[in-house]
Structure 1
Amino acid sequence: IISAASDSDALKNLYLTEPTAQLIPIWGGTPYSTWQPVMPYVTELKANSAFLPWIAETDAPDWGWLAISRSAPNEVFEHLRSLTQVKMPDGTEVFFRFWDGRHIYPILHGLGEKAGEVMPMFERYLINGRSLEVGPRVVPKVKDWPWWEVPKGLLEGLMAENPSTVIGNMMQWLQEEHADLYFSFPESNLKQKVARF
């Protein structure tokens, strides 16, 4: 899985090392198919891929990640596309940033054995230098998104472990919806208030 949104130029480096790489845009065929600057892609790499040394050497945590699958590439693509959006415990539909290792590793790790239910087509992962094994699963028929409901306990665990995403989202919401309040305080003070809240 590789992200066009990464500042690491992961796509450029992939094409430099693997000029014949066949990238499949995960949002292809969706209302978001024109979002190339932030598009996640899936591609198949061989064990001797010239891109693997770049992956081993990069310190960019958002470039993407590796996984091992016995599924056909199109089956992997279809299942990933079905995770474009997910349902939060309150029913809100949100984009699922599964292509960004900073976000997906804590989610998969927090799900434990249930990680294989979310992405059953993958057996093992290498995400930002950390491996995770979930074992082989039967890959069910792809469902329309949003089909996965994020467990409330998982969210609570993620927020307790690292509240930075929630704080960032609240800061963005304040800036967009309550600019008067947002610009009334130095950002560092406001961030501390949001964190305490």
Structure 2
Amino acid sequence: MGEHWIDVLPVFSDYWINGEVFTCQVDPTAQAQVSPWWQVPQRLIDQLLKTDPGPVIAQALQQLQETRADLYGRFSPALLEMKIRHLLVQSHGQREGLMARIVTTLESE
């Protein structure tokens, strides 16, 4: 990221990053950026999910618990995690429509 790291972080005068202190000039007249002001490249997201799909699985489990407690309560958390992981592998990590696939799968069992 080099010298462009300040473009990603919110505007503060002092930062503590990886054990180093950074002090920056803050323009008091600058307009605040609307959050989120950064874009994570899709290639990076895809690579991270290939490395560790855990965050997607955890989010799906939480969403299932909050929106479909009836289905969430039918299965053990370990079994639900296994089923969600299997659905992610089948769809090559495609997250779009994942909750619909999870619900359909669980309702059919």
TM-score range, shorter chain: 0.5 to 0.7
1:192 equivalent among 67, 78, 82:
82
Q: Find the counterpart in structure 1 of residue 62 from structure 2.
A: 172
Unaligned runs of 5+ in 2: 88-109
Asked if 1:155 corresponds to 2:45, the answer is: yes
Report Cα offsets for 1:95-153 as digits up to 9, x if no partner: xxxxxxxxxxxxxxxxx5597141387887327xxx8xxxxx99784412232223212
Q: Find the counterpart in structure 1 of residue 72 from structure 2.
A: 182
- Give the number of equivalent residue pairs: 80
CA gap of 1:120–1:138, structure 2 versus 1, over 3 A, is farther
* Relative contact order higher in (CA < 8 Å, ≥ 6 apart): 1
Structure ranking higher in helix proportion: 2
CA contact (8 A) 1:174 1:181 kept: yes
CA gap of 1:148–1:189, structure 2 versus 1, over 3 A, is same
Q: CA–CA distance in 2 between the matches of 1:114 and 1:157?
A: 24
CA contact (8 A) 1:171 1:191 kept: yes
Percent pairwise identity? 31
Query: Is the radius of gyration larger for structure 1 or structure 2?
Result: 2
CA contact (8 A) 1:120 1:138 kept: no
TM-score, structure 1 length as denominator? 0.32
CA gap of 1:173–1:125, structure 2 versus 1, over 3 A, is same
CA gap of 1:166–1:179, structure 2 versus 1, over 3 A, is same
